[in-house]
Amino acid sequence: MRDAILILVCGLLGFLGAGPAVAADRGRVPRLVERVIDGDTVVLDGGEPLRLIGINAPEYQPHKHRIDPYGKESAACARRRLDGKKIFLEYDIERRDKYKRTLAYAYSGEGELVNRALVAEGCAKAGYYPPNGRHYRAIKEAEKEAKARRKGLWAVVD
């Protein structure tokens, strides 16, 4: 009886989206971030490039002499949140872009949507890239809040 109750509670927590223990149960795929390229692109374990869906960060590619305003800060923000961390991927309709990068939403071990969090901190902008738009509204709302609070890249915008 006790085991049945425990199974029921765990199932309910999974339904409610609680915590890291249920991340895989919600169809999310656990992966490790090897390194951060810039504010919206990382390299996963095994060398697989991942482009975070629903956001657009300023470019930071010093090796190509391409550094957009706020690009270095955006990349640093992504490093703090993602570098060396275990994340859980959620896919949308298209799984790869024209550059053959994996496209996904990333969740932290605590269940936070990292794509949204980066925008909420002002480290990136919301970006809608059809057909992948499952979380666009939430990400766009985070952008509105960041703008209103003049966070990150919005601190210098008039």
Annotated catalytic residues are: 51, 59, 101
Contact present, 105 and 90 (Cβ < 8 Å):
yes
Which residues of the chain form beta strands (DSSP E)?
29-38, 41-44, 49-52, 55-56, 60-61, 66-67, 86-90, 102-107, 125-126
> Which helix (H) or strand (E) covers residue 10, if one does?
helix 2-16
Assign 31 to helix, strand or coil: strand
Contact present, 41 and 101 (Cβ < 8 Å):
yes
Contact present, 74 and 60 (Cβ < 8 Å):
yes
